[in-house]
Amino acid sequence: MTKDKICFTAVEYPDDPNVVGYYYWYICNFADVAEGDKVVAPLGRHDNLQQGVVRRVIFADESNAPYPVHSIKYIKKVIKDKKEDNV
Return the SS3 of 62.
helix
> What pLDDT was estimated at residue 47?
95
pLDDT in tens, 50-61: 999 999 999 999
Judged on CB neighbours under 10 Å (0-12, 13-18, 19+), 2 is exposed
Yes or no: say if 47 and 40 are a contact pair by the CB < 8 Å rule. no
pLDDT of residue 41: 98
Q: How high is the pLDDT of residue 4?
A: 79
Above 60 in pLDDT, residue 2?
Answer: no
Q: Rounded CA gap, 53 and 68, in Å?
A: 21
Q: What global pTM score does this model have?
A: 0.87
- Is residue 74 within 8 Å of 27, Cβ to Cβ? yes
Residue 82 clears pLDDT 70, i.e. is over it: no
